Amino acid sequence: IQMTQSPSSLSASIGDRVTITCRASQTISTYLNWYQQKPGKAPKLLIYAASNLQSGVPSSFSGRGSGTDFTLTISSLQPEDFATYYCQQSYRTPITFGQGTRLEIK
């Protein structure tokens, strides 16, 4: 299952609302997870099963979608949110990730 994220990169300012999209090449129900990765660090789980916020993750993060189309929204960007974001499907093996969206400071 191919996962396609858009955009590949995004420039935004502190306080902005941003949305990242992830599209699956076939239906994956809600078996979709989102991760944040900072340079030199392992990915960190943000959202699981499309819309469930992982414990400890700020409520400024939210996820929506089912089937083939999903979104990750950050309601108000903070300095620590500038990172790369990946979607990942766990509907079927091989598990696959999107190519990543790099979020940069404008």
Partner 1 sequence: QVQLQESGPGLVKPSETLSLTCTVSGGSISSSSWSWIRQPPERGLEWVGKIYYSGSTNYNPSLKSRVIMSVDTSKNQFSLNLSSVTAADTAVYYCARKTTEPYYFDYWGQGTLVTVSS
| Residue numbers at the binding site for partner 1 (CB under 8 A) | 30-31, 33, 35, 41-45, 48-49, 54, 86, 88, 90, 93-100
Kindly state the smallest distance separating residue 13's Cβ from partner 1, in Å: 25
Kindly state the smallest distance separating residue 37's Cβ from partner 1, in Å: 8
Kindly state the smallest distance separating residue 87's Cβ from partner 1, in Å: 10
* Nearer of residues 54 and 62 to partner 1, judged by Cβ: 54
* Nearer of residues 10 and 16 to partner 1, judged by Cβ: 10
**Dist CA 25 CA 76 (whole Å):** 30
Q: Where are the beta strands (DSSP E) in 1-106?
A: 3-6, 9-12, 18-24, 32-37, 44-48, 52-53, 61-66, 69-74, 84-89, 96-97, 101-105
* Nearer of residues 14 and 95 to partner 1, judged by Cβ: 95
Residue pair 10/101 in contact (Cβ under 8 Å)? The answer is: yes
